[in-house]
Amino acid sequence: MSEQKIIEIEVLRYNPETDQEPHLELFKVPFTDDMSVLQGAQYIKDNFDGSLTFRWSCRMAICGSCGMMINGIPKLSCETFLRDYYPNRIRIEAMSNFPIEKDLVVDLSGFIEKLESIKPYIIPREPRTLEQGEYIQSPEEFNKYIQFTSCINCTLCYAACPQVGLNPDFIGPGAMALLHRYNMDSRDGGAAQRMELVASEEGVYNCSAVAYCSEVCPKHVDPASAVNINKANAAKDYFLRFLSPKGGSK
Amino acid sequence: MEIFKADVVIVGGGGAGLRAAIAVAESDPSLTIALVSKVYPMRSHTVAAEGGAAGVKKPTDNLDYHFHDTVGGGDWLCEQDVVEYFVKQAPVELTQLEHWGCPWSRTEDGHVNVRAFGGMKIERTWFAADKSGFHILHTLFQTSIKYPSIKRFDEHFCIDLLEEDGRCQGIVAIAMGTGELMMIEGKSVIIATGGAGRVFRESTLGGIVTGDGMALAYRHGVALRDMEFVQYHPTCMPITGLLFTEACRGEGGYLVNKDGYRYLQDYGLGPLQDQPKNKYMELGPRDRLSQAFWYEQQKGRTIEHPILGSVVHLDLRHLGEARLRERLPLIYEMAETFMGIDPAKEMIPVRAGVHYTMGGIKVDGKCAASLPGLYAIGECSSVGIHGANRLGSNSLTEIVVFGKLAGDEAANYVKSVAPGNSASLLKQAEAIEQRVTALKTKTGGTERISVIRKEMAKSMEDGCGIFRKEESMQATCDKLAELRERFKNINLDDKSSVWNTDWLMAIELDYQLDVAQTMAHSAINRKESRGAHQRLDGPDEAYKQRDDVNFLKHSEAYYVPGSAPRIAFGDVKITKSQPEVRVYGAAGEKADAERKASHV
């Protein structure tokens, strides 16, 4: 192991059963250069205070569990390293724009409801039996949606989004990127069903085009572009409604 | 206590659990499904699977080839009738995932592409770049939202099964957000909780992989089968154990030692090939590659890194940045982020780490356990397709093939079953609540759970690693017995109700200790070497050999309250492949040719 140093980690603590409001607690954590912020939190839990509460699992930035504010920026703690902050103090807090349940654990039920609301599944354009084999998708068709399949639902983009902070009902960047993913898939014919939501009060018009969501996205999904493409689509849809009795989308 | 009444309760929301839930919902929309998971389903460890899912795809391939690769790869400890079913359903279920939107990587003409994988004779691994498990899991989770009969209990932690009138009738769970207990009644219960590899120290696995379902079934008298077979994956990140997929080698990566020598040619996998050749060199099976790593270490031919320890190098440089970015984007990012290495320019230090539990809850070919009403699927189960060594990319296929089957079977079963006696089930649930709450509220203990967990993991690595000896396995068995005692004396820092992860991790540790004991005791009782279980001892080192006379058998570990497990042995189902010498490389090709000639 490399040389052991001590880093100060300040953690925003909150236990709803005993605390009136969240407060900071300081821990001095021995660390090596290979250790992530998540490993720092685990060290505290294992050695100093077993009541420190946070979500984690895969340790490799794919399960999406371990998002938190690290010195005020939403990040996955498993792929953020203590060495990059040392010798300064590091502060970890629950993700912004979500109610805190305990310590670093936030209430994600609102996000899950949004995700469920966008019909995140293939609504077949042309149904196909298993005997007929797979759908054929050209590289062009594939490239239209593949980027938007990479979202790991870590919700860092929600913690970053100023509009989610102002209007908690805003469907938000991550779910909108997923909606766009299905709309862009050549196997799918459900765009019209999803368009109502896109143009609704919870929809894309909430976005103020800050694009901080794309900046913090650990998987380069670029939810901001998904939102903005849909702003254009929703506008087009709105105007086409005057021309076509069934609305613009098909 | 809150009560929910379901027809089918599924514990575990990974790929297997979700596939089963969808199968029940499609089979009969009037059935209520409770899908219980200790994490949001898309966090389940299916998410971290990288390489792909095996299913016959190419016109030059056939089901028989997939069957023989799997049975030989498992060192003939597979249930061959189950493997036959598995290879037949594999392409159907992988196509079903495609219809549900899984973004499988494709060929230029728009068809699903397949890649080479270790121990597979022909390319048949369907892949979604190197995030196959991630895409399968999200596809299944998102598709499951379509079915109103699937009621999810996210972040609910299962603490026991309810058993009455000789059958399984539901579960008790902790709602993690409040700490309150609830009873979920069900006419049948499907366990889909994944593996148990976190009982070891250096592993590829997420923190949630703690063998919960295995321990639950075991405590209810169901056998855990073939638990001594724990897969070491040959290419893991040192210290963390994070996985560099076998697809690195499927795409043409090399493994070299400190002399830059492709050492696998010395271990029955050669001769050296310029181009990747199936079942040769780096495309050999995982057990053989991990064992070769161990031998290189013994010979002093590994690289001794000051921080990382003994490593070999995974060389991807010749594949070039463009191909790596297209086929192995996650690997590229992981090497950059976690190790500061550009794999197009530098070699990646790797070592073997624990990856997969071949054994699990003993079930029949229809996923049914010995306790009526109870089913098990995926890594927590032993349906019999992996034998003594799983081939890479068979397990992602397993979760959908047997997830579907168990869902159909459970849906059918519940129609013939009368509703349970709620009052008496509730009584049981309340007793369980008392027991589990006592663990949290008790005072005066002196042991920290993190200390016990670390000692367990170290001991498992010492005694049940890639190579094993009686003496070290006995030391592990003794250590686990000691830890079982010390566990009674734990003290938790957190006594609260809301999100008490200290408490949950203590319950997980309790599961882990049980599962670890089944592994160590099964291992010490198998006096031979087969697949992932390799011994170096015995009279005249006899246990270094496979012994079909005495050990062409499944081990079965049975729960004995307050004691070590009782180990028994059961028969292996052989249909069309009699055990042969297990060979790869040129020797394997020769054996294949001879088998073909003798069949003509």
pLDDT given at position A134: 98
Q: What is the mean pLDDT of the segment spanning B528-549?
A: 97
Residue range(s) defining the domain that contains residue B469: 428-544
CB contact under 8 A, A112 and B138: no
Nearest-CB residue to A60 (from B48, B99, B142): B48
Angle between helices B320-327 and B329-339 (to 10 degrees): 100
* Interface subset of B 489-518, CB within 8 angstroms of A: 492-494, 496-502
Locus of tokens 């897969």: B231
pLDDT for the residue numbered A240: 65
pLDDT in tens, A165-199: 899 899 999 999 999 999 999 999 999 999 888 88
Q: 31-70 in A: which are within 8 Å (CB) of B? A: 32, 34, 45-47, 49-51, 53-65
- With a threshold of 0.90, does the pTM exceed it? yes
Other CB atoms within a 10 A radius of the CB of residue B590 amount to: 11
Check if the beta carbon of residue B222 is closer than 8 Å to that of residue B381.
Answer: no
User: What is the pLDDT at residue B550?
Assistant: 98
- Does the annotation count B313 as an active-site position? no
Average pLDDT over residues B177-187: 98
Mean predicted confidence (pLDDT) in B10-23: 98
Residue B503 lies in a domain: yes
Contact state of A146 with B449 under an 8 Å Cβ cutoff: no
Whether B177 shows a pLDDT value over 70: the answer reads: yes
Average pLDDT score over residue span B373-399: 98
Q: In chain A, which residues have their Cβ closer than 8 Å to the Cβ of B108?
A: 139
The answer to whether ipTM exceeds 0.85 is yes
Longest dimension (CA), chain B: 73
Tell me, letter by letter, the H, E, C secondary structure of chain A. Answer: CCCCEEEEEEEEECCCCCCCCCEEEEEEEEECCCCEHHHHHHHHHHHCCCCCCCCCCCCCCCCCCCEEEECCEEEEHHHCEHHHCCCCCEEEECCCCCCEEECCEECCHHHHHHHHHCCCCCCECCCCCHHHCCCCCCHHHHHHHHHHHCCCCCCHHHHHCHHHHHCCCCCCHHHHHHHHHHHCCCCECCHHHHHHHHCCCCCHHHCCCCCHHHHHCCCCCCHHHHHHHHHHHHHHHHHHCCCCCCCCCC
CA of A232: how far to CAs of A158, A220, A237, B122, B276, in Å?
22, 22, 8, 47, 48
Residue B76 token pair: 């003939």
Asked whether residue B463 is assigned to any structural domain, the reply reads yes
Residue that terminates a domain, selected from B496, B518, B544 = B544
Does some domain include residue B139? Answer: no
Q: Does one domain contain both B253 and B337?
A: yes
Instruction: Work out the number of other CB atoms within 10 angstroms of the CB of residue A5.
Output: 14
pLDDT exceeds cutoff 80 at B54: yes
Cα–Cα distance measured from residue B178 to residue B153, given in angstroms and rounded to the nearest whole number: 13
The whole-angstrom distance between B431's CA and the closest CA on chain A is: 25
DSSP codes, B10-36 = EE--SHHHHHHHHHHHHH-TTS-EEEE
Query: Which residue among B333, B353, B373 closes a domain?
Result: B353
Query: Who among A122, A130, A139 is closest to B101 (CB)?
Result: A122
Helix (H, G, I), strand (E, B) or coil at B377: coil
| Whether the predicted pLDDT of A238 surpasses 70 | no
Domain residue spans in chain A?
5-106, 109-240
Give how many domains chain B has, as a whole number: 2
Cβ neighbours of A110 (radius 10 Å): 18
CB-based burial of residue B352 (10 Å sphere; 0-12 exposed, 13-18 middle, 19+ buried)?
buried
Q: Are B205 and B193 in contact (CB under 8 A)?
A: no
Cβ neighbours around A168 below 10 Å, total: 15
User: Where residue A241 falls among pLDDT bands split at 50, 70, 90?
Assistant: low
A27 Cβ under 8 Å from any chain B Cβ: no
Say whether pLDDT at B570 is over 70. yes
What backbone torsions phi and psi does residue A14 show, to the nearest 5 degrees? -155, 120
| Nearest chain B Cα distance for residue A41, angstroms | 13
Contact: A63, B206; criterion CB under 8 Å: yes
Please answer whether residues B513 and B370 qualify as being in contact, where contact means their C-beta atoms are separated by less than 8 angstroms: no
The pair of structure tokens assigned to A29 is 């954590």
Phi and psi at residue B547, to the nearest 5°: -125, 90
CATH of the domain at B272: 3.90.700.10
Question: Considering CB atoms only, which of B110, B134, B493 is closest to A136?
Answer: B110
Is residue B528 a contact partner of residue B77, using CB atoms and an 8 Å limit? no
Instruction: Output b/e per residue, A172-208; b: 16+ Cβ within 10 A.
Output: bbbbbbbbbbbbbbbbbbbbeebbebbbeebbbbbbe
* CA B166/CA B170 separation, integer angstroms: 12
Name the pLDDT band for B273 (thresholds 50, 70, 90): confident
Output the pLDDT for position B307: 85
CA atoms within 13 A on the CB side of A14: 16
User: Using CA atoms, how far apart are residues A195 and A249, in angstroms rounded to an integer?
Assistant: 8
Q: CATH assignment of A5-106? A: 3.10.20.30
Residue B144 lies in a domain: no
Confidence of residue B394 (pLDDT cuts 50, 70, 90): very high
Distance, CA of A183 to CA of A125 (rounded, Å): 11
Q: Find the residue in A nearest to B57 (Cα).
A: A133
Partners of residue B100 in chain A, C-beta under 8 Å: 121-122
Instruction: With a cut of 60, say whether residue A249 has pLDDT above it.
Output: no
Q: CA B414, CA B346: separation in Å to the nearest integer?
A: 57
Where residue A234 falls among pLDDT bands split at 50, 70, 90? confident
Q: With contacts defined as CB-CB under 8 Å, which chain A residues touch B154? A: 112
- Assess whether pLDDT exceeds 60 at residue B358: yes
Q: Is A117 on the interface with B (CB under 8 A)?
A: no
Q: Is B238 in the same domain as B338?
A: yes
Tell me the H-state helices in B299-328: 320-327
A110-114, B256-260, B271-275, B367-371: segment of lowest average pLDDT? B271-275
Instruction: Please give the Cα distance from B152 to A202 (Å, whole number).
Output: 24
**Do A109-240 and A5-106 have the same topology in CATH?**
no
Assess whether pLDDT exceeds 50 at residue B579. yes
Q: pLDDT for B316-329, tens place per residue?
A: 999 999 999 999 99
Cβ-Cβ contacts under 8 Å for B561 (sequence gap 6 or more): none
Cα–Cα distance, A25 to A13 (Å, whole number): 7
According to CATH, the superfamily of the domain at A109-240 is Alpha-helical ferredoxin (1.10.1060.10)
Report yes or no: B50 and B331 within 8 Å, Cβ to Cβ: yes
Domain for residue B204, yes or no?
no
Residue B147: per-residue pLDDT? 98
| Tokens describing residue B146 | 């379509």
Burial class of A22 by CB neighbour count within 10 A (0 to 12, 13 to 18, 19+):
middle
Kindly report the nearest CA distance between residue A231 and chain B, in angstroms: 24
Measured in angstroms, the CA of B329 and the nearest CA of chain A are apart by: 11
- Tens of pLDDT, residues B86-115: 999 999 999 999 999 999 999 999 999 999
> Does the beta carbon of B36 lie under 8 angstroms from any beta carbon of chain A?
no
Residue B482, pLDDT above cutoff 90: yes
Q: Which phi and psi angles does A136 have, rounded to 5°?
A: -95, 135
The question of whether B521 is a catalytic residue gets the answer no
Strand-pair category, B114-115 with B125-126: antiparallel
Q: What is the pLDDT of residue A232?
A: 83
A-proximal residues of B, 331-370, CB under 8 Å: 333-334, 337-338
Q: Count other Cβ atoms within 10 Å, centred on residue B100.
A: 19
Q: Assess contact for A189 and A125: CB atoms under 8 A.
A: yes
User: What residues of A are in contact with residue B337 (Cβ under 8 Å)?
Assistant: 61, 79
Answer whether residue A1 shows pLDDT above 50: no
Q: Which residues numbered 150-209 in A keep a CB inside 8 Å of some CB on B? A: 150, 152-153, 178, 182, 185, 187-188
Residue B423 falls inside a structural domain: no
Q: Are residues B432 and B349 in the same domain?
A: no
Residues B387-416, mean pLDDT to the nearest whole number: 98
Q: Of B353, B388, B420, which residue constitutes the final position of a domain? A: B353
User: At residue B276, does pLDDT exceed 60?
Assistant: yes
User: Is residue B219 domain-resident?
Assistant: no
